[in-house]
């Protein structure tokens, strides 16, 4: 196979033609499979084609719904996009469990986002500091054409600071800019402001007499938002009287709570457990983020790095008992938005946001944090009682049955047959063989 140049400029059909002939020996079935996943509505297909470069088909992910979320005394039906079979079921279980125990409560504590201009400077820190002080206002003014609209929506630039990082890396300084991006996730806005600011900063530095006189040079290395957002924080919690946990999975509430709190304590001190614990939280958060058109990689990065803020990676939720009450809580950063990006262009994202009553970004932070907490509750609840495989395997069974294309009647029979039996690929295969597949 030869290197191809100008691939992105080919039409969609020509791209597919090239792929099929170079990777699938020209087999037209392979092309037909790709085409099966195209949308019949050309307008919708066009929208999806344009999301990314070199689109050749659509990759379906299930969009499910977790009903019965009582959040701050409002009821939500939550859209979740995930391929992991048990995630929606787990969120729904937890929503249902907490619904009439006061529900979930959530509060946004802070919404600051950070962008930075990273540069090297080979002169005296004192002179740089005075240059920065004298030009700070100017730098802000020069981005006003970019921040005007954001300001009218309640956002904008909150602060700019110079940091001397030369103790970490020779000649290394940075300008840290703090933003409020209102209802947008704000990545494009932040990066545009930073690039504009860094160009102005460099131009002014090159003209600055004390630098010119001493032949000092500022070398801007890069300007980019940071996905570490320890000041974009939301807290979610559930609370109930200890007695209300008494019927949970047939263990006494005292034993249940003790095990629950131990599970949390282990996540605080054991990295192997902490990462899995937090992954469970993110199962829910990612699913809501994708359903609402948000950058789940940014959210993952923000949350995992926050889990490490003390220097030790640790579990993010807390559980404790006081005055006869059990509290389970989660405090995390969630840089999320409800305007801009995919929220404007993906018809299902728009539908999902309408399902959620068109939340502001703060409301979506609260909703998403509650789903993360719900997911974590469901996981710990299963882990300390029945184990998670019981629930997982039920859904795994359906996936295996679908793989063998079984009809509804046999599917129903198989579900009944495996109700109290161990589900493995082999056991299901054997059962299907016996039943004529």
Contact footprint for ligand MEV (CB under 6 A):
84, 276-277, 279-280, 283, 379, 383, 388
Closest contact distance (angstroms) between CB of 282 and ligand MEV is 9
Closest contact distance (angstroms) between CB of 371 and ligand MEV is 14
Rank residues 88 and 218 by Cβ distance to ligand MEV and give the closer one. 88
Question: Reduced to 3 states, what is the DSSP secondary structure of residue 295?
Answer: coil
Closest contact distance (angstroms) between CB of 91 and ligand MEV is 12
Buried/exposed code over 245-258 (b: 16+ C-beta within 10 A; e: otherwise): beebeebebeebbe
Beta strand 63-71 with 74-81 is: antiparallel
Rank residues 194 and 379 by Cβ distance to ligand MEV and give the closer one. 379
Closest contact distance (angstroms) between CB of 387 and ligand MEV is 10
Helices (H) and strands (E) in the chain, counts: 17, 10
Rank residues 342 and 395 by Cβ distance to ligand MEV and give the closer one. 395
Give Rg (Cα) of the chain: 27
Question: Reduced to 3 states, what is the DSSP secondary structure of residue 118?
Answer: strand
Tokens standing for residue 432: 């299907």
- Partners of 329 in beta bridges: 237, 318
Residue among 36, 26, 42 at smallest CA distance from 60:
36
Rank residues 66 and 128 by Cβ distance to ligand MEV and give the closer one. 66
Rank residues 287 and 302 by Cβ distance to ligand MEV and give the closer one. 287
Rank residues 84 and 270 by Cβ distance to ligand MEV and give the closer one. 84
Closest contact distance (angstroms) between CB of 298 and ligand MEV is 20
The 3-state DSSP composition of the chain as helix, strand, coil percent (nearest 5) reads 50, 20, 30
Rank residues 90 and 245 by Cβ distance to ligand MEV and give the closer one. 90
Closest contact distance (angstroms) between CB of 300 and ligand MEV is 14
Closest contact distance (angstroms) between CB of 388 and ligand MEV is 5
C-beta of residue 104 within 8 angstroms of C-beta of residue 236: yes
Closest contact distance (angstroms) between CB of 237 and ligand MEV is 18
C-beta of residue 190 within 8 angstroms of C-beta of residue 171: no
Rank residues 19 and 266 by Cβ distance to ligand MEV and give the closer one. 266
Nearest residue relative to ligand MEV (C-beta): 280
Closest contact distance (angstroms) between CB of 419 and ligand MEV is 22
Residue among 296, 384, 340 at smallest CA distance from 191:
340
Closest contact distance (angstroms) between CB of 284 and ligand MEV is 10
Distance CA 160, CA 162 (A): 7
Closest contact distance (angstroms) between CB of 263 and ligand MEV is 8
Please, is 36 exposed, middle or buried when counting C-beta atoms within 10 Å of its C-beta (0-12, 13-18, 19+)? exposed
The terminus-to-terminus CA distance of the chain in angstroms comes to 41
Residue among 336, 400, 335, 330 at smallest CA distance from 369:
330
407, 409, 420 from 435: Cα distances, Å? 12, 11, 19
Rank residues 379 and 423 by Cβ distance to ligand MEV and give the closer one. 379
Give 59-85 as a DSSP string. ----EEEEEEEEETTEEEEEEEE-S-T
Rank residues 205 and 379 by Cβ distance to ligand MEV and give the closer one. 379
Please, is 259 exposed, middle or buried when counting C-beta atoms within 10 Å of its C-beta (0-12, 13-18, 19+)? middle
Q: What is the dihedral of CA 373, 375, 380, 381, to 10 degrees?
A: 100
Rank residues 294 and 382 by Cβ distance to ligand MEV and give the closer one. 382
């Amino acid at each position: 196979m030869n290197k191809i140049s100008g691939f992105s400029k080919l039409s969609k059909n020509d791209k597919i033609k090239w792929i099929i002939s170079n990777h699938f020996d020209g087999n037209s079935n392979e092309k037909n499979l790709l085409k099966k996943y195209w949308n019949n509505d050309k307008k919708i297909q066009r929208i999806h084609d344009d999301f990314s470069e070199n689109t050749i088909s659509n990759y379906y992910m299930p969009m499910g719904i977790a009903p019965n979320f009582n959040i701050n005394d409002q009821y939500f039906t939550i859209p979740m996009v995930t391929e992991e079979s048990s995630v929606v079921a787990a969120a729904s279980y937890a929503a249902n469990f907490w619904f009439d125990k006061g529900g979930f409560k959530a509060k946004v504590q802070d919404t600051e986002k950070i962008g930075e201009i990273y540069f090297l400077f080979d002169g005296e820190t004192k002179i740089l500091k005075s240059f920065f002080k004298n030009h700070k206002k100017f730098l802000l003014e020069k981005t006003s054409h970019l921040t005007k609209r954001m300001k009218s929506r309640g956002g904008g630039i909150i602060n700019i600071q110079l940091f001397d990082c030369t103790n970490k890396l020779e000649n290394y300084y940075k300008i840290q800019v703090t933003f409020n991006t209102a209802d947008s996730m704000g990545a494009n806005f932040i990066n545009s402001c930073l690039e504009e600011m860094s160009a102005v900063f460099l131009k002014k530095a090159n003209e600055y007499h004390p630098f010119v006189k001493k032949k000092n040079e500022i070398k801007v290395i890069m300007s980019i938002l940071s996905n570490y957002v320890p000041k974009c924080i939301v807290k979610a919690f559930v609370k109930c009287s200890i007695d209300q946990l008494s019927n949970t999975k047939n263990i006494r509430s005292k034993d249940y709570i003790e095990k629950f709190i131990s599970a949390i304590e282990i996540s605080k001190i054991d990295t192997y457990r902490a990462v899995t614990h937090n992954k469970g939280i993110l199962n829910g958060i990612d699913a809501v983020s994708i359903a609402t058109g948000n950058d789940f990689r940014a959210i993952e990065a923000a949350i995992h790095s926050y889990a490490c803020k003390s220097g030790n990676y640790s579990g993010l939720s807390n559980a404790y008992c006081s005055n006869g009450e059990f509290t389970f809580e989660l405090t995390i950063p969630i840089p999320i938005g409800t305007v801009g990006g995919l929220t404007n262009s993906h018809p299902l994202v728009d539908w999902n946001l309408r399902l959620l009553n068109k939340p502001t970004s703060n409301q979506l932070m609260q909703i998403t944090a509650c789903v993360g907490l719900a997911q974590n509750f469901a996981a710990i609840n299963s882990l300390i009682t029945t184990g998670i495989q019981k629930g997982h395997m039920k859904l795994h069974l359906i996936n295996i049955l679908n793989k063998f294309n079984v009809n509804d009647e046999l599917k129903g029979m198989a579900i009944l047959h495996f109700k109290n039996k161990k589900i493995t690929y082999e056991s299901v295969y054997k059962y299907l063989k016996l039943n004529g597949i």
